[in-house]
């Protein structure tokens, strides 16, 4: 296990790669999205239907071999790094790839886990981040089936899971729109031989779908059990409203996926998911990672490290930033996309929130039904704002919008001015707005 501990030091750095990749991929995808927007006619703007997951609960997707993982990492590093760094980085990464990786879809609900772990100490704990605080039978989506992707390292010689006690890792994906294909249990590739090419366009295309998965695959190949939750509203829970930015719902997704995965791994009788866990994620996944780690700690796991990047820990900061960017006319598609998705959460669609059904919807009455429908469909990432007014802030409750703007101006020292105040003032001025810590 010392080898695993040493190798995890390398893997703990690898998770940063998706942040850089995401920016590169965003640039490549942006032109594609804009082309789609240019060719869409008004009569084609029907609300996309909900799309059920392509994979079933319990489905074994594949077993990716050491050779395939090394080929994949070499191909990706060749396009992500400067040429002078590729050889060194490839050698360093390939040295830690030791195991084949079994991938399968896992599914469970809070209710199922309460039954499966009945009598466990954590079932009787109370307070913030305790299991019953987000998975009690009175909590939203407690009876909903969550899905996730489970990666189990296999011994290449025996073709079976590694025997003994293994560390675990939670990898939480970044925000990437409403499409079902963005769920880990859906985006996992069927055939990794596709990376056996020198065609950069092909590699970029594969990375565009798989950029939230390759570091997780390498982590598993080190000898670690890896769990990638789909989040509420994705995968098997696609018919349930999404909970973007709600920390308690991230805890629900992470804890349920972890507990179910642990039971599956240990059902072989020769492998145990040990008490040591690490977690990583960026963007939306940064918030999910942090919240999930707090939940797993209350389940009795020792959290070795938590790596987050660009995480929306406080939704009010995100709203203020997005509103300011939209007011200035410089908001990126991703900013508008996530802003619109989050407004639905605080519009009485998650009943556990304190302002639900209190006449305090963040969305105004004119746009509420349409925006909620869009957020919970299979809408292609980057196309959300195609359906929105210009400016996109017109979807928001006017009283809330004015409160944000006045607060910004107050901190900028120009309360009476109509001038925009700047995002840095918005981020300093939102401590009194709605929080996502609601359980």
Instruction: Summarize pLDDT for 197-251 with one digit per residue, the tens.
Output: 999 999 998 888 787 899 999 999 999 999 999 999 999 999 998 888 889 999 9
Residue 439 lies in a domain: no
- Whether 336 and 304 share a structural domain: no
Residue 433 lies in a domain: no
- Whether 16 and 68 share a structural domain: yes
pTM: 0.86
- Whether 243 and 351 share a structural domain: no
Last residue of a domain, one of 309, 330, 350: 309
- Whether 163 and 184 share a structural domain: yes
CB–CB of 209/181 below 8 Å? yes
Last residue of a domain, one of 290, 309, 328: 309
Please state, in angstroms and rounded to a whole number, the distance separating the CA atoms of residues 352 and 356. Answer: 7
Residue 324 pLDDT: 84
- Whether 30 and 101 share a structural domain: yes
Could you report the per-residue pLDDT of 172-203, keeping only the tens digit for each?
998 877 777 889 999 999 999 999 999 999 99
CB–CB of 235/185 below 8 Å? yes
- Whether 305 and 330 share a structural domain: no
Residue from 173, 280, 169 nearest 220 by CA: 169
- Whether 198 and 281 share a structural domain: yes
Residue 438 lies in a domain: no
CATH number of the domain that 83 lies in?
Answer: 3.40.50
Residue 378 pLDDT: 76
Residue 423 lies in a domain: yes
* Per-residue tens of pLDDT for the chain, all 439 residues: 444 444 544 444 454 454 444 444 444 444 444 444 444 444 466 777 788 899 999 999 999 999 999 999 999 999 999 999 999 999 999 999 999 999 999 999 999 999 999 989 999 899 999 999 999 999 999 999 999 999 999 999 999 999 999 999 999 998 877 777 889 999 999 999 999 999 999 999 888 878 789 999 999 999 999 999 999 999 999 999 888 888 999 999 999 999 999 999 999 889 999 999 999 998 889 999 999 999 999 999 999 999 987 777 777 777 888 888 888 888 888 788 888 888 888 888 888 888 888 888 999 999 999 898 888 887 776 677 788 888 999 999 998 888 888 777 666 655 454 444 444 444 443 333 333 433 3
Please state, in angstroms and rounded to a whole number, the distance separating the CA atoms of residues 202 and 196. Answer: 10
CB–CB of 289/311 below 8 Å? yes
Query: How many CB atoms are located within 10 Å of the residue 289 CB?
Result: 27
Residue 424 structural domain: 317-428
Last residue of a domain, one of 309, 326, 345: 309
Residue 324 lies in a domain: yes
Residue 178 pLDDT: 72
Residue 412 pLDDT: 60
Residue 140 lies in a domain: yes
Residue 372 lies in a domain: yes
**3-state DSSP call for residue 271?**
strand
CB–CB of 331/290 below 8 Å? no
Name the domain count of the chain.
2
Query: How many CB atoms are located within 10 Å of the residue 385 CB?
Result: 21
- Whether 33 and 67 share a structural domain: yes
- Whether 304 and 364 share a structural domain: no
Residue from 154, 171, 175 nearest 163 by CA: 154
- Whether 296 and 353 share a structural domain: no
**Residue 316 backbone zone (phi > 0: left; psi -120 to 50: alpha; other: beta):** alpha
Residue 411 lies in a domain: yes
Residue 9 pLDDT: 45
- Whether 257 and 396 share a structural domain: no
- Whether 293 and 326 share a structural domain: no
């Amino acid at each position: 296990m010392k080898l695993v501990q040493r190798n995890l030091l390398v893997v703990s750095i690898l998770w940063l790669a998706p942040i850089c990749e995401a920016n590169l991929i965003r640039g490549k995808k942006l032109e594609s999205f804009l082309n789609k927007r240019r060719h869409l006619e008004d009569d084609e703007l029907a609300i996309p239907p909900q799309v059920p997951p392509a994979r079933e609960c319990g489905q074994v997707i594949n077993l990716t071999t050491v050779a395939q993982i090394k080929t994949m990492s070499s191909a990706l590093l060749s396009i992500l790094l400067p040429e002078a760094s590729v050889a060194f980085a490839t050698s360093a990464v390939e040295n830690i790839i030791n195991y084949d990786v079994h991938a399968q879809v896992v599914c469970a609900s809070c209710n199922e886990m309460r039954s499966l772990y009945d009598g466990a100490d954590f079932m009787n704990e109370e307070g913030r981040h305790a299991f019953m605080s987000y998975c009690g039978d009175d909590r939203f989506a407690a009876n909903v089936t969550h899905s996730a992707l489970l990666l189990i390292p296999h011994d290449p010689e025996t073709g079976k899971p590694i025997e003994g006690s293994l560390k675990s890792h939670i990898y939480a994906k970044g925000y990437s729109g409403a499409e079902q294909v963005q769920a880990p249990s859906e985006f996992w590739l069927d055939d990794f031989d596709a990376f056996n090419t020198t065609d950069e366009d092909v590699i970029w295309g594969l990375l565009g779908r798989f950029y939230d998965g390759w570091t997780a695959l390498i982590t598993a190949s080190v000898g670690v059990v890896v769990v990638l939750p789909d989040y509420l509203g994705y995968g098997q829970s696609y018919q349930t409203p999404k909970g973007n930015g709600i920390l308690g719902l991230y805890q629900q997704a992470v804890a349920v996926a972890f507990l179910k995965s642990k039971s599956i791994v240990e059902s072989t009788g020769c492998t145990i998911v040990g008490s040591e866990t690490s977690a990583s994620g960026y963007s939306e996944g940064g918030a999910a990672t942090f919240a999930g780690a707090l939940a797993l700690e209350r389940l009795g796991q020792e959290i070795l490290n938590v790596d987050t990047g660009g995480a929306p820990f406080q939704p009010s900061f995100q709203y203020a930033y997005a509103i300011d960017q939209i007011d200035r006319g410089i908001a990126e598609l991703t900013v508008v996309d996530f802003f619109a998705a989050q407004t639905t959460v605080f519009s009485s669609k998650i009943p556990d929130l304190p302002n639900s059904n209190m006449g305090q919807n963040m969305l105004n009455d004119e746009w509420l039904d349409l925006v909620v429908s869009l957020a919970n469909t299979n809408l292609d990432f980057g196309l959300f704002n195609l359906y929105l007014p210009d400016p996109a802030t017109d979807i928001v409750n006017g009283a809330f919008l004015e409160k944000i703007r006045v607060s910004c101006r107050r901190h900028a020292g120009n309360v009476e001015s109509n001038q925009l105040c700047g995002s840095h003032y918005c981020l300093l001025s939102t401590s009194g707005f709605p929080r996502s810590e609601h359980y």
